[in-house]
Amino acid sequence: MHREKIKNGLIVSCQPVPAGPMDYAEFVTGFAKAALDAGACALRIESVAYVQAVRSAVTVPIIGIVKRDLSDSPVRITPYVSDAEALADAGADIVAFDATDRVRPAEIDALVRAVKAKGKLTMADCSSLEDAERALAAGVDFVGTTLSGYVGGPEPVDPDIELIAAMRRLTPYVIAEGRIRSPEQAAAAVKAGAYAVVVGSAITRTEHVTSWFHEAVAKASTRQEGRSAETVLAVDIGGTKTMAALVKGAAIIDEIVIPTAREAGPDGWLEAIAESTAQWRGRYARIGFAVTGLVRDGHWSALNPATLGIPDGYHLVDRAKRLLGKPVFAMNDAQAAAWGEYKFGAGSGGNLVFLTISTGIGGGIVINGRPLSGLAGHFGLIRGPSQGRAPLEDETSGRWIAAEALKAGHEVEAAEVFQRARQGAPWARAIVSQSALRVATLCRDIQLMFDPDQIVIGGGIGLAAGYIDEMRDHLQDVAPRLAPRLVAAKLGSRAGIVGVADLAGEGG
């Protein structure tokens, strides 16, 4: 066999659990053929009988081993010269054996001589760089990392990538083997210099793979049950009002709304929250804050001071934790609302963008089941539609609607502008239509950027009667494939507190 036949290839170790339900020749042969159909270049087979069975069914290179439990030696892999010779006679192209520096029935050079006398190649299963050095000095053809972590001490979880790289400095013929359980780990082995990669349990030992998944599911379920049993104090600090609620899952157990006294600043807002929720002390385990602006590493900053003036880098998480005495998680309110709608509201399980049009415009993005944080989703601050004059929200949101009404001679708030529009007042209809056009254009751009399955529209302006329909009217000429799917938010003003409560329950 030429060594090049396994170069840059995947070798699948077809070794069933001893005495398990698949420990039969027909299963081992089936594993082998399935692996080859999927792209494996070679096989690693245990026992003379199974090597014979697989050799009769395939033509690719086979690495053969024999495993024995000896009373006088810790060496288990092909301990005797007779084992090596029998594997070669059975059809193994490469005979692998333990090459560790331990008490052994046969020396490495004797095993090498016996295999080469049969015209076959050798592989040294090593635990360390020193093992590899000795094996190469004895004339082996390949060195492997098979026994790294198995000659004493607790068994590691991850493959020994560092040993692969170190061996590669000795020889190009390094076979990576041992605890490679994911495609990413296999790729890392190749990057470290592996000539070929062996994967075994992750492909052919159903019992092992099932136990990994079972353990992961059990742990996650236990954590989820614990979290779902927790009640969270969720707080949504907005530009005009602050909502505080006790939340369990998606259920609002109790809630209060207090005005956001803009002149009080964040210290004053936190003190007001602590005072207003004092009667709930002892009823919650964690706290989640959904706030306007930017939250990074627990620090809160204003992105548009016109919405709410916040000192740059305010220590929100630390100060809230000191004041309220519980673990605190904080996130932008629209990002939290995006998660709330994704998990408990209008979400359909796919990628989602959430837009809230209210005092300002906020947004959140959930991609591949994860909420994006930082600046992601702050669509109200983009300036393209205004040719750089001002943030989009300053020419679209509730404040803009009221300001436009005043310019038209009507000193009314946004809610009354909508009422007048429904009554047919031309000036009010023009203002609402202009706002809806700008948000519809934003949604068209978002669709081209992220191609979400849906864009969920929330907020007092976004959910005002007729607003989403007005947006859809402005999108009628867009080709169906490019048109965003607009969906009304289901959680209303509670999306942020429900979302941040769930994220706080997960530890952020």
Q: Scan for tokens 């296999």, then name that residue.
A: 186
**DSSP bridge pairs for 330:** 289
Count Cα atoms within 13 angstroms, Cβ side, for 137. Answer: 8
SS3 353: strand
pLDDT in tens, 26-58: 999 999 999 999 999 999 999 999 999 999 999
pLDDT in tens, 437-471: 999 999 999 999 999 999 999 988 999 989 999 99
Short-list 270, 245, 267, CA closest to 257:
245
| Domains, in order of start, for the chain | 3-211 (3.20.20.70), 232-335+499-505 (3.30.420.40), 347-489 (3.30.420.40)
Average pLDDT, the chain: 91
Q: Is the pTM of this model over 0.95?
A: no
User: Token pair of 118, please?
Assistant: 């049969």
User: Token pair of 86, please?
Assistant: 């029998």
The sign of the dihedral angle between the CA atoms of 295, 299, 304, 308 is positive
pLDDT in tens, 345-400: 998 888 999 999 987 888 999 999 999 988 888 888 888 776 778 888 888 888 89
Mean pLDDT of 487-504: 91
Task: Please check the confidence at residue 213 and state whether its pLDDT lies above 90.
Answer: no
Residue 190 amino acid letter: V
Task: Please check the confidence at residue 228 and state whether its pLDDT lies above 90.
Answer: no
What distance in Å separates the CA atoms of residue 122 and residue 1, rounded to the nearest whole number? 11
Element (H, E) at 232: strand 232-237
Do residues 408 and 420 touch, judged by C-beta distance below 8 A?
no
Element (H, E) at 50: helix 48-55
Q: What is the DSSP letter of 261?
A: -
Do residues 256 and 274 touch, judged by C-beta distance below 8 A?
no
- H helices of 249-332, in order, are 265-276, 316-324
